[in-house]
Amino acid sequence: MKKFKLAVIQNKPIKNKEESINYVIKKIEEASNNNSDLVVLPEIFYYPYELRSLPKIEEANKETLNKLALTAKKLGIYICTGSTVEKVGSKRFNKSYLINRSGDVILEYCKSHLFDVNFNNLRTRESLVFDRGDTFPIVETELGKIGILICYDIRFPEAARKLALQGAEIILVPAAFNTVTGPLHWHIIFRARAIENQVFLAAASPALDMEAKYHAYGHSMIIDPWGTILSEAGVNEDMIYSEIDPAVLMEVRGKLPLLKHRRPDIY
């Protein structure tokens, strides 16, 4: 792991998919010009999160991924693609990729926990649209060992712990909490996952759009292994930055060796 600069883009997806993608690519270029090594995009970054509409924008030939791969290669930058709606055979996934500086895909992850909830003011069933992923891979890079989760996954401690036990030092989380759960749970859960697994964590949300059917909470964050919020957006479109310093990770894990003190023999 080495010291590097991380950027998180918080954009407002619109119903013109191509325009959303082009806007985000310009923001990636801006992040690169500001010396970022890794850029993280939100969950379904190119279209409003309206479940019934998402099958209409599914991709079978990785069109969006290919555009982002060309951008990564052109700029010599790592990109976490947020997530896209991808058709694989007879299945449809909410899928994220990590692309390296050469434009190669080095990690792919399918959302494993699907958001099926029934609140008075929010009812949704992602399982009607998406199939579940079933693996939690990590990849070793020059920046560090990286894993990806997507939104609802972060509510399950086992998912982040699975990545940490495989050696993850950085967890990237494209997400779209809503304005019902976000104010109560967003900061607590993401900080807890960073603290208990002693990892850097980047949470990338879409910006709030009150004209959309789904109201994303925003508040994209970068958190260190001590649980400190290094950078945070508000609810509007924004881009946040932070330096990721391996010395911080080494210090936290050295002083409070939680992962070494686990007792898997009794639980």
24-56: pLDDT as tens digits: 999 999 999 999 999 999 999 999 999 999 999
In this prediction, residue 194 has a pLDDT band, given cuts at 50, 70 and 90, of very high
Q: Where is 246: in which H helix or E strand?
A: helix 246-255
Backbone angles phi, psi at 165, to 5 degrees: -70, -20
Nearest-angstrom CA–CA distance, 133 and 135: 6
Instruction: Classify each residue of 146-165 as buried b or exposed e, where b means 16 or more C-beta atoms within 10 Å of its C-beta.
Output: bbbbbbbbbbeeebbbbbbe
Q: Which two tokens stand for residue 212?
A: 């959309």
Work out the pLDDT band at 179, boundaries 50, 70, 90: very high
What would the mean pLDDT of 180-205 be, rounded to a whole number? 97
Of the pLDDT bands very low, low, confident and very high (cuts 50, 70, 90), residue 76 is very high
Give the rounded percent of residues in the chain with a pLDDT score beyond 90.
Answer: 95
The yes-or-no verdict on residue 220 having pLDDT over 80 is yes
The amino acid at residue 257 is: P
Residue 189's pLDDT band (cuts 50, 70, 90)? very high
Return the biggest CA–CA distance within the chain.
53
Positions marked active-site: 43, 111, 151
For residue 121, pLDDT over 80 is answered with no
For residue 134, give every residue at least 6 positions away whose Cβ sits within 8 Å of its Cβ, in sequence order, or none.
110, 112
- Band of residue 193 on the pLDDT scale cut at 50, 70, 90: very high
- What pLDDT sits at residue 47? 96
Instruction: Please give the pLDDT value at position 33.
Output: 98
Domains of the chain: 4-255 (3.60.110.10)
* Coil/strand/helix, residue 86: strand
> pLDDT tens, 92-109?
999 999 999 999 999 999
Q: Provide the token pair at 14.
A: 């619109």
120 has pLDDT over 80: no
The answer to whether residue 123 scores a pLDDT higher than 90 is no
Does the pLDDT at position 119 exceed 80?
no
Checking phi first, is residue 202 left (phi over 0); if not, alpha (psi -120 to 50) or beta?
A: beta
**Mean pLDDT of the chain, nearest integer:** 96
- Put simply, whether the predicted model's pTM sits higher than 0.85 gets the answer yes
CB atoms under 10 Å from CB of 66, counted, come to 13
Would you place residue 257 in the very low, low, confident or very high pLDDT band (cuts 50, 70, 90)? Answer: very high
Q: Which residues of 105-142 are buried (b: 16+ CB within 10 A; e: fewer)?
A: bebbbbbbbbbeeeeeeeebebeebbbebeebbbbebe
Give, in order, the Cα–Cα distances in Å from 167 to each of 144, 171, 203.
Answer: 10, 11, 19
> Three-class SS of residue 34?
coil
Confidence category of residue 117, pLDDT binned at 50, 70, 90: confident
**Pairing relation of β-strands 116-118 and 105-110?**
unpaired
Q: Do residues 125 and 96 lie in contact, with contact meaning Cβ atoms separated by under 8 Å?
A: no
CB-facing half-sphere around the CA of 170: CA atoms within 13 A: 27
Residue 256 has pLDDT above 80, yes or no: yes
Tokens of 136: 């939690």
DSSP state of 260: T
